[in-house]
């Protein structure tokens, strides 16, 4: 575990708490350690740090007041939604204010005609679709933690989901973000029109990990709920064949609503846990979903089945009803809790690769399992090449942690080497900050820092995350592969993931 | 380094040293768009060609100088397309110009804008350094999304060298329907259909005629044809209609009045635009309103802003009022600082987007 030794300056703490107490209700400013403890980490619990002060504003005016005071006192601010993020993006600072936006959870408007929902940042992802459901509409991005994670967090991380192969990521579904800069200036990125004048600052703000502005309001696009959906479960006797089948489906001109893959160790772990009826003989399973009108789905399922058979599927099952479809998915969505049952700890990776390199990466991971003597079941968002290999380890055996870190480092660097990225959807945060030095050259990192400075010249919003300093990269060069850490004892352990 | 890039790097470095502006240009098909800019010409056509295209990856990587027609024909050979249906505005339009202008065509209504399909870019900044952002994969959240920022920046942030774009399969079936109805009913109808699972991929209303294109699986298009009614156009009438709309060859655009592009919420009622004398054409399910009018720029911009959108002076002999909608001061400050980060001496296409960028 990485407990940050950021010591809290109690005089400073009293000063900041007093100033914030003048603009927020008494109960909305926390500084005693028993009150701030719940905020010491996000979903990446291996990193913990008590914040100096926690502020819980209830509206935009209060957020602005907090930011203005922090700007005046030059106190760093870390914004946080539900804290389900997996890369430590909401890790607090011992000399900073943790700005929780959880109280701002109003759905301000649902316009069923324009198909737009306007919401506060603390609204849960799933709550938007629930509010839109009476109109036959929904918000498409569905990160597996959608019952808990907030739209503000989704904007910060550009969250995906199992259906983003067809419906896109947060950046494709958010129309407008209203927020405040570190100085407390009100800014609006994007609009409820198809575009906005000037540079596309909306694209820049989405996925910026809370480093450019604090989100206070979001307009999202709602789309009509597909009339029906159907899922194919295809078995393969070889993981590489399954990987090639993914390319074949897409190469045949089909964009499935979801295209997921699990290898045998993953299906075995899941089956014991949820009894989804998975084929335990198969070396790999593909879940391939079609949605749309009943006619469309019938046509697409027939075409997909044909391609999968030609690609060497040894078995194909098509969900016969909604209950069976959800059962197929229940296994996939429970992969992480299931793996949590068979191993004391696990470390999840998030690399993305070009789909055609899937087979190669799978063989590489298999070789790493032997090299490091650790098991690594694999679940993938195969349709978009986003890998979530899970290295199983026991943190109580110290050498296993070190081996896990080295294993993960090699896999992420391999992802970069084949033309991919160190993070497809979980973000850099604090967790992968060293690997940023592998993926980007010094001039690129310098430009990122310039972007940060354009929005936040004093570097007060979430400093130290996402973009490493050159100094840090130099250190990492020496420490190579020792900078990572592993996730032990996930909070929200029962929450569906990825 | 590639010889062309080596040479450009020297040109850029020396321009920055001497604070001499560069005018980045491909074929010049979009010279009319945005504000005028002066400076030494940097012709991007010397850096052309498709670098990588694997249709099963849905990703194509092409250099800035690649003719857009060449890229589209390579995709069509594999049954794919650029789903945002970019306008060319000239037979030799380039990929770099398409990216810098950031314009999308009729299919933007269902597929999304150009920037949604940008996966990665390589650019040269004002220091002459070559930088890579994003990549050739669908999901990538490492660092800020600089490549999407460059889309539509009109070359003011950097010299776009190469881009990776997401491609999509061509629809299995397309059909076009024509309806006769007034503008307010067209807006109402398009928004109603937008809320239903219908395969509407494009729409255009002008002169009491609404055209709607359906694209998708044969079953979905056939079912929608049965449901929506209207008169179906034959394929040899439908195809030129949509390409004519995209390229602004439609009769509406053959007009000597200044052409304004208003991006507004799709539900904006037509009556709010009636204070602007002239004619109108509507696209994107109501989100895009083209207005040919002699009305004063301030009035047009006021109308657009009140409707919740913005107005661009798209084509006009006199653009002294500025092509693009003015930004609030806090937003303009962010623009200036970003520009200074990419291009410290302001050498790339100065003034093309806003006078002081």
Instruction: Tell whether A455 is within 8 A of chain B (Cβ).
Output: yes
Q: Chain B closest CA to A134's CA: distance in Å?
A: 12
Asked if the C-beta of A141 comes within 8 angstroms of chain B's C-beta atoms, the answer is no
Considering only CB atoms, B115 lies closest to which of A186, A203, A445, namely: A203
Based on DSSP, count helices (H) and strands (E) in chain A, helices before strands: 18, 20
Question: CB–CB of A384 and B138 under 8 A?
Answer: yes
> Given phi > 0 = left and psi -120 to 50 = alpha, else beta, which region is A462?
left
B143 → closest Cβ in A384, A454, A467: A467
Interatomic CA distance for residues A440 and A432, integer angstroms: 12
HEC assignment per residue over B180-246:
ECCHHHHHHHHHHHHCCCCCEEEEEEECCEEEEEEEECHHHHHHHHHHHCCEEECHHHHHHHHHHHH
A447–B341 C-beta distance less than 8 A: yes
Instruction: At A159, give phi and psi (nearest 5°).
Output: -65, 150
Looking at the partner chain, which of A204, A354, A450 has a beta carbon nearest the beta carbon of B57? A354
Give me the helix-helix angle, A358-372 and A239-251, nearest 10°.
Answer: 160
Q: Say if A440 is an interface residue toward chain B (CB within 8 Å).
A: yes
Residue ranges of chain A with pLDDT lower than 70? 1-6, 477-498
Tell me what percent of chain B is helix, strand and coil, each rounded to the nearest 5.
Answer: 35, 25, 40
Burial of B144 (0-12, 13-18, 19+ CB in 10 A): buried
Query: Is the four-CA dihedral B143, A497, A126, B84 of positive or negative sign?
Result: positive
Find the helix or strand (DSSP H, E) in which B98 lies.
helix B95-101
C-alpha triplet B124, B129, B135: angle, nearest 5° = 60
Q: For Cα atoms A53, A56, A59, give the angle at the middle one, nearest 5 degrees.
A: 140
The alpha carbon of residue B239 is apart from the nearest alpha carbon of chain A, in Å, by 21
Give pTM, 2 decimals: 0.95
Which residue's structure tokens are 């999308």? B104
**Chain B within 8 Å of A208 (Cβ-Cβ)?**
yes
**Which residues in B lie closer than 8 A to residue A442 (C-beta atoms)?**
none
B135–A419: do the CB atoms touch at under 8 Å? Answer: yes
Nearest chain B CA: its distance from A467 CA (Å): 7
Name the CA dihedral angle for B252, B257, B260, B265, rounded to a multiple of 10 degrees. Answer: -50
Q: Residues A231, A329: contact at Cβ < 8 Å? A: yes
Q: Give the DSSP letter string of B246-266.
A: HTT-SGGG--SSPEEEEE--T
Residue B139, min C-alpha distance to chain A (Å): 5
> How many angstroms separate the CA of residue A187 from the nearest CA in chain B?
7
Rounded to 5 degrees, what angle do the CA atoms A87, A90, A92 make?
125
What confidence score (pLDDT) does residue A494 get?
58
pLDDT value for A480: 31
- Give A-chain residues touching B55 at CB under 8 angstroms: 251
Least Cα separation, residue A443 to chain B (angstroms): 7
- Reduced to 3 states, what is the DSSP secondary structure of residue B85? coil
Structural contact between residues B309 and B268, judged by C-beta atoms closer than 8 angstroms: yes
* Rounded CA separation A326/B104 (Å): 37
User: Looking at the partner chain, which of A193, A212, A224 has a beta carbon nearest the beta carbon of B310?
Assistant: A193
Binary contact (A451, B141; C-beta < 8 A): no
Is the CB of A385 less than 8 angstroms away from the CB of B108?
no
Residues of B in contact with A441 (CB under 8 A): 131-132
Contact A199 B338 (CB under 8 A): yes
Quote the pLDDT of residue B246: 98
B137 to A421: CB separation less than 8 angstroms, yes or no: yes
What's the rounded Cα separation, in Å, for the pair B28 and B22?
14
- What's the confidence (pLDDT) of residue A331? 87
- Which residue among B146, B196, B263 places its CB closest to the CB of A193? B263
Interface of A with B in 263-292 (CB under 8 A): 292
Query: How confident is the prediction along chain B (357 residues), in pLDDT tens digits per residue?
Result: 799 999 999 999 999 999 999 999 999 999 999 999 999 999 999 999 999 999 999 999 999 999 999 999 999 999 999 999 999 999 999 999 999 999 999 999 999 999 999 999 999 999 999 999 999 999 999 999 999 999 999 999 999 999 999 999 999 999 999 999 999 999 999 999 999 999 999 999 999 999 999 999 999 999 999 999 999 999 999 999 999 999 999 999 998 999 999 999 999 999 999 999 999 999 999 999 999 999 999 999 999 999 999 999 999 999 999 999 999 999 999 999 999 999 999 999 999 999 989
Strand partners, B312: B261
CB-nearest to B195 from A113, A208, A432 is A113
CA A49 to the chain's CA centroid: 21
The alpha carbon dihedral of B149, B154, B157, B162 has a sign of positive
Cross-chain CB nearest to A295 (options B142, B219, B310): B219
* Pair A433, A465: CB distance under 8 Å: yes
CB pairs below 8 Å between A and B: how many? Answer: 256
Q: Give strand ranges (E) for A330-448.
A: 345-348, 378-381, 386-393
Verify whether the Cβ–Cβ distance B143 to A444 is below 8 Å.
yes
Q: Report the residue of chain B nearest A190, measured CA to CA.
A: B309
Structure tokens at A187: 């800014």
Residue closest to A386 by CA, chosen among A435, A340, A437, A421: A421
The token pair at A287 is: 């879940």
A496: helix, strand or coil: coil
Q: Touching check for A443 and chain B: CB below 8 Å?
A: yes
Instruction: Enumerate the β-bridge partners of residue B177.
Output: B212, B232
CB contact under 8 A, B191 and A113: yes
Helices B218-228, A294-310: inter-axial angle, 10-degree rounding: 170
């Amino acid at each position: 575990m990485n407990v940050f030794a950021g010591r809290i300056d109690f005089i400073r703490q009293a000063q900041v708490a007093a100033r914030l107490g003048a603009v927020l209700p008494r109960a909305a400013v926390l500084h005693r350690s028993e009150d701030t403890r719940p905020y010491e980490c996000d979903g990446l619990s291996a990193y913990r740090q008590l914040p100096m002060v926690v502020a819980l504003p209830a509206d935009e005016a209060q957020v602005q007041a907090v930011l203005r005071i922090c700007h005046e006192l030059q106190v760093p601010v870390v914004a946080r939604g539900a804290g389900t993020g997996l890369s430590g993006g909401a890790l607090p600072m011992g000399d900073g204010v943790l700005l929780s936006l959880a109280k701002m959870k109003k759905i301000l408007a649902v316009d069923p005609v324009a198909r737009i929902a306007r919401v506060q940042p603390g609204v849960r992802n799933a709550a938007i679709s629930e509010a839109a459901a009476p109109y036959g509409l929904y918000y498409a991005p569905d990160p597996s933690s959608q019952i808990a994670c907030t739209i503000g967090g989704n904007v910060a991380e550009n969250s995906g989901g199992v259906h983003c192969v067809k419906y896109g990521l947060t950046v494709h579904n958010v129309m407008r973000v209203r927020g405040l800069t570190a100085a407390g200036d009100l800014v609006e990125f994007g609009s409820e029109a198809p575009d906005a004048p000037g540079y596309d600052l909306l694209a820049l703000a989405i996925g910026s990990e809370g480093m450019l502005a604090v989100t206070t309001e979001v307009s999202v696009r709602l789309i009509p709920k597909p009339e029906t959906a159907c899922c194919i479960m295809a078995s393969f006797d070889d993981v590489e064949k399954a990987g090639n089948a993914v390319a074949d489906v897409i190469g045949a001109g089909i964009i499935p609503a979801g295209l997921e893959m699990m290898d045998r160790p993953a299906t075995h772990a899941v089956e014991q846990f949820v009894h989804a009826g998975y084929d335990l003989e198969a070396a790999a399973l593909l879940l391939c979903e079609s949605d749309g009108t009943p006619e469309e789905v019938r046509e697409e399922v027939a075409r997909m089945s044909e391609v999968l058979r030609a690609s060497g599927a040894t078995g194909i099952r098509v969900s016969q009803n909604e209950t069976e479809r959800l059962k197929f998915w229940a296994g996939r969505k429970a992969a992480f809790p299931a793996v949590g049952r068979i191993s004391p700890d696990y470390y999840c990776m998030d690399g993305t690769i070009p789909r055609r390199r899937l087979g190669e990466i799978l063989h590489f991971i298999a070789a790493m399992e032997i090299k490091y003597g650790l098991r690594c079941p694999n679940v993938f968002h195969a349709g978009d090449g986003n890998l979530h290999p899970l290295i199983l380890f026991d943190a109580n055996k110290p050498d296993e942690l070190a081996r896990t870190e080295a294993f993960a480092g090699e896999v992420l660097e391999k992802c970069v080497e084949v033309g991919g990225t160190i993070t497809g959807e979980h973000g850099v945060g604090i967790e992968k900050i060293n690997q940023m030095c592998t993926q980007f050259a010094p001039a690129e990192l310098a430009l990122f820092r310039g972007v940060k400075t354009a929005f936040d010249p004093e570097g007060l919003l979430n400093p130290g995350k996402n973009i490493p300093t050159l100094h840090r990269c130099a250190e990492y060069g020496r420490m190579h592969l020792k900078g990572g850490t592993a996730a032990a004892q996930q909070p929200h352990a029962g929450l569906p993931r990825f | 380094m590639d010889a062309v890039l080596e040479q450009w790097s020297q040109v850029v470095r020396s321009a920055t040293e001497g604070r001499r502006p560069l005018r980045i240009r491909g074929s010049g098909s979009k010279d009319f768009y945005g504000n005028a800019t002066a400076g030494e010409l940097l012709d991007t056509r010397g850096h052309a060609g498709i670098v990588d295209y694997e249709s099963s990856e849905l990703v194509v990587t092409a250099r800035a100088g690649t003719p857009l027609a060449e890229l589209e024909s390579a995709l069509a050979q594999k049954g794919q397309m650029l789903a945002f249906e970019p306008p060319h505005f000239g037979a030799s339009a380039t990929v770099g110009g398409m990216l810098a202008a950031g314009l999308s065509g009729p299919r933007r209504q269902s597929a999304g804008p150009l920037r949604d399909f940008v996966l990665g870019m390589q650019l040269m900044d004002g220091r002459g350094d070559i930088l890579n952002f994003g990549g050739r994969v669908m999901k990538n959240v490492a660092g800020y999304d600089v490549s999407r920022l460059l889309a539509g920046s009109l070359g003011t942030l950097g010299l776009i060298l190469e881009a990776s774009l997401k491609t999509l399969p061509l629809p299995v079936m397309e059909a076009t329907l024509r309806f006769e109805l007034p503008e307010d009913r067209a807006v109402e109808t398009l928004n109603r259909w937008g809320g239903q699972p219908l395969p509407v991929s494009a729409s255009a209303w002008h002169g009491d005629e609404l055209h709607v294109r359906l694209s998708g699986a044969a079953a979905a298009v056939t079912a929608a044809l049965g449901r929506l009614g209207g008169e179906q156009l034959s394929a040899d009438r439908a195809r030129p209609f949509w390409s004519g709309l995209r390229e602004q060859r439609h009769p509406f655009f053959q007009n000597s009045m200044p052409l304004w592009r208003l991006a507004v919420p799709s539900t904006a009622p037509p009556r709010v635009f009636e204070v602007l004398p002239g004619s109108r054409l509507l696209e994107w399910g109501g989100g895009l309103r083209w207005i040919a009018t002699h009305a004063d720029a301030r009035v047009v911009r006021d109308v657009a802003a009140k409707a919740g959108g913005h107005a661009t002076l798209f084509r006009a002999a006199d653009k002294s009022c500025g092509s693009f909608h003015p930004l609030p001061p806090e937003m303009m400050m962010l623009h200036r600082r970003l520009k200074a980060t990419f291009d410290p001496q302001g050498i790339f296409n100065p003034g093309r987007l806003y006078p002081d960028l």
